[in-house]
Chains A and B, each alone.
Chain A
Amino acid sequence: MKKKVSRKRNAVRSNAVRSNDISVRTVMIVLVIVILVSIASLGIYVDALQQFQDRMMQQGMLITDLTQAQGHASIEIIAPPNTEGDAP
């Protein structure tokens, strides 16, 4: 009998707490905002880091691999405008 009364009291207290609580929808909205802010922060950081590295490179303060250099050669073979009768 005592247990039943206790359960009822707990249920009433729980309902009272829930009625004062923030809705699940609000929690979800805040969660989405947090995720967006995190992504934006990461983007700002990566951008700032890239700019920082570029400036350091320009000032010659970041040593890249100086023992390598690259060169590029390119060509494109296209079809002649009129290939009639050109077969070997």
Chain B
Amino acid sequence: MNDISNKTIVILLFVAMGITLIGTIATISRLGYIERSYGVVTGALPGSQNGTGTSTLTVIAFAAISNDFNTIQFGSGYTNNSGGGPCVMATNNKAGTSTSGMIFSNVTTCVSFNNSNDKGFLLENTGNVNISVNYTCSGSCIATTFIGGATSDGFPFFELAISPKTVANHSTPEVGSNDTAMSCGNRFNNGSSGGNGGNFERNNSNINQSYFNVSVGGQFLCGSAAEYPLESVDTQDAFVINLNVSLPRYVVPGGAKTATFTFNAFASG
């Protein structure tokens, strides 16, 4: 077979370049066509100016969850070991020594941390079916990795506690209208041991309810794999997860630590 001349190679290259350009232009214009064609869903009859017709709209059941307050920053700081006790920072009023901002049990022990954040995560059922909710955690999810340093006097702690939104008095607005009744049948995980559902307490009207340790594997917060008590009704579809970070007086400095919580919604079927 004779060798192909350079002229032929150049022609082939130009053909390849043309194909590339035409392909790109065609693909981009196709994307524009899809957007123009399906960009607006109106339910109107296609191509009809007058006359009557029937449009069918089927609302399907879907499970959805949103975290309406998804960042809790304890900030950067240190402990003053001449303070009277451990540094306890909680996003609810458990410590009860401050009336605004993040609660500090010992203002003299907690130094320069962020006290502007007094809200926990706000989870809301934004779907149209009842759900159960669990969580998993990645990153620095246990006290010794989130806070660091050796434990002393039973510290550090990295814990969570759950309240209905109406009890937690969270000021962040919900996606739907704000709750007026306790969600999840007022029955949330309180961290105590028990069988399926046995670790869920009722009458959870006191915001100073039980805290329990954050863990990597997580657990159900409301409901279970078989029960879906978090209603989709707007007036009782949200709850708050408060965090409690307790530092010993002698805490070893470490880098910035982040715990990422993933909240999962489950529905029957």
Q: Which of B5, B24, B63, B152 contacts A17 (CB 8 A)?
A: B5
Q: A73 and B21: CB pair below 8 A?
A: no
Check A27 against B10 for contact (C-beta < 8 Å).
Answer: yes
A11 on the B face (CB < 8 A): no
Establish whether residues A70 and B28, one from each chain, have CB atoms under 8 Å apart when the complex forms: no
Q: How close is B54's CB to chain A, nearest CB, in angstroms?
A: 24
Of chain A, the residue at the smallest CB distance from B261 is: A71
Q: Mark B28-44, 1 if CB is under 8 A from A, else 0.
A: 10010011001101000
A31 contacts B13, C-beta separation under 8 Å: yes
Q: Which residues on B sit within 8 Å (CB–CB) of A67?
A: 63-65, 127, 264-266
B263 touches A69 (CB 8 A): yes
User: Which A residues are CB-close (under 8 A) to B66?
Assistant: 69
Contact residues, A42-88 vs B (CB, 8 A): 42, 44-45, 48-49, 52, 55-56, 59, 61, 66-80, 86, 88
Contacts of A74 in B (CB 8 A): 71-74, 256-259
**Cβ-defined partner of A22 (8 Å) among B10, B35, B250, B260:** B10
Contact with A45, one of B28, B35, B251, B253 (Cβ below 8 angstroms):
B28
Interface size on A, residues (CB 8 A): 41
Considering the chains assembled together, what is the distance between the CA atoms of A80 and B13 in angstroms?
66
Interface residues of B in 48-70 (CB under 8 A from A): 62-67, 70
A15 an interface residue at 8 Å Cβ cutoff?
Answer: no
Known: A22-B6, A77-B252. A48 touches B28 (CB 8 A): yes
Check A30–B250 contact: CB distance below 8 A: no
Q: Smallest CB–CB gap between B32 and chain A, Å? A: 8
Total of A-B residue pairs, C-beta within 8 Å: 166
- Which single member of B27, B35, B254 contacts A56 (CB below 8 Å)? B35
* A66 and B62 within 8 A (CB): yes
Q: Contact at A70–B261, with CB atoms within 8 Å?
A: yes
Known: A44-B24, A75-B74. A66 touches B10 (CB 8 A): no
- Among A42, A49, A76, which residue has its beta carbon within 8 angstroms of that of B75? A76
* Additional A-B contact list (4), CB under 8 Å, known A68-B262, A74-B71: A21-B7, A27-B13, A66-B65, A75-B76
B interface vs A, CB < 8 Å? 5-7, 9-10, 13-14, 16-17, 20-21, 23-24, 27-28, 31, 34-35, 38-39, 41, 62-67, 70-81, 111-113, 121, 123, 126-127, 146-149, 152, 241, 243, 245, 247, 250-266
| A interface, CB within 8 angstroms of B | 17, 21-24, 26-27, 30-31, 33-34, 37-38, 41-42, 44-45, 48-49, 52, 55-56, 59, 61, 66-80, 86, 88
